[in-house]
Chain A
């Protein structure tokens, strides 16, 4: 049971933004511009960063829902999502994405873990300043989302099908604030 009286039966962050839409609206617009807005990184690549950080934070709800979104967006290459969750180093992704995931993993620990060598490695692999900026902010944002979802002990579905549906919805519609329960 969640730590506070959120709407019953609603999973994860959706229950929290329905409890408090005044803050929820900006969390969703932030997620939308970060993960779907204009960026040199594809939505699939950005969902992969979100998945990697959520896995490292051990946040089952965020990991499962963003992994499902990433699988939808990677289409026939969807297997690489599981590979990234298990081990980034051996995953079949480009050297650039590997370097950016490594930066995201450091941001997950703490911002100061990111060293000039990490940035240089990403630039050598073809990353530009916008790729690096977006990677750091996505990793930082999921360090927030993961804590928000788990810090209030929200409902975490255990049925993989529930996440498949979320993944499809997120891949198709992106992030929009759920309507209040009573409307």
Chain B
């Protein structure tokens, strides 16, 4: 049971969002611009950063919800997403994305953990300032979303396949124009 009285039947962040629509609006607008708006980082790559940080924060709902969306965009299986989470260096993702995931991993520990060497490495592999900026902000934002979801003790469906189906839906609808109750 959640720590506060949230509307029934809504898993993860949807409960607190229905509880307080005034803040939900801005959280969703932020997610939409960060994860879906025009960017040289693909939507799949950005969802992968969100998934990786949520995994590091051990947030079951967020890592599966965003893992499901990443899986849809990247047209891969759950095994690939899991491999990125536990050891992205061993996967077939680009070296640039590996360098950006390393930065995201440092942000998850604390902002000051990001080193000049990590930035230089990413830049050497072709990352732009905007891509570095967006990586840091996506990682930071998921340190918020994960804490919001778990800090209020929300519930999450345990069958990971349900997130794969919903991932397709969220990828189609986006983060702003959707019904919290569906």
B137 close to A148 (CB less than 8 A): yes
Contact of B26 among A3, A20, A33, A136 (CB under 8 A): A33
Q: Which of B's residues lie within 8 Å of A, judged by CB?
A: 3-5, 16, 19-20, 22-23, 26-27, 29-30, 33-34, 37, 57-59, 103, 106-108, 110-112, 114, 116, 119, 129-130, 132-134, 136-137, 139-141, 143-153
Contact of A147 among B20, B58, B110, B133 (CB under 8 A): B110
Q: Which residue of B lies closest to A4 (CB)?
A: B129
Q: Which of A's residues lie within 8 Å of B, judged by CB?
A: 3-5, 16, 19-20, 22-23, 26-27, 29-30, 33-34, 37-38, 57-59, 103, 106-107, 110-112, 114, 116, 119, 129-130, 132-134, 136-137, 139-141, 143-153
Known contacts A4-B133, A59-B111; is-contact A26 B140 (Cβ 8 Å) = no
Q: Smallest CB–CB gap between A89 and chain B, Å?
A: 21
Known contacts A33-B22, A111-B150, A137-B23; is-contact A150 B5 (Cβ 8 Å) = no
A110 close to B147 (CB less than 8 A): yes
Give bound CA distance, A150 to B113, whole Å: 9
Q: Smallest CB–CB gap between A42 and chain B, Å?
A: 17
Which residues on B sit within 8 Å (CB–CB) of A145?
140
Known contacts A110-B57, A110-B150; is-contact A150 B33 (Cβ 8 Å) = no
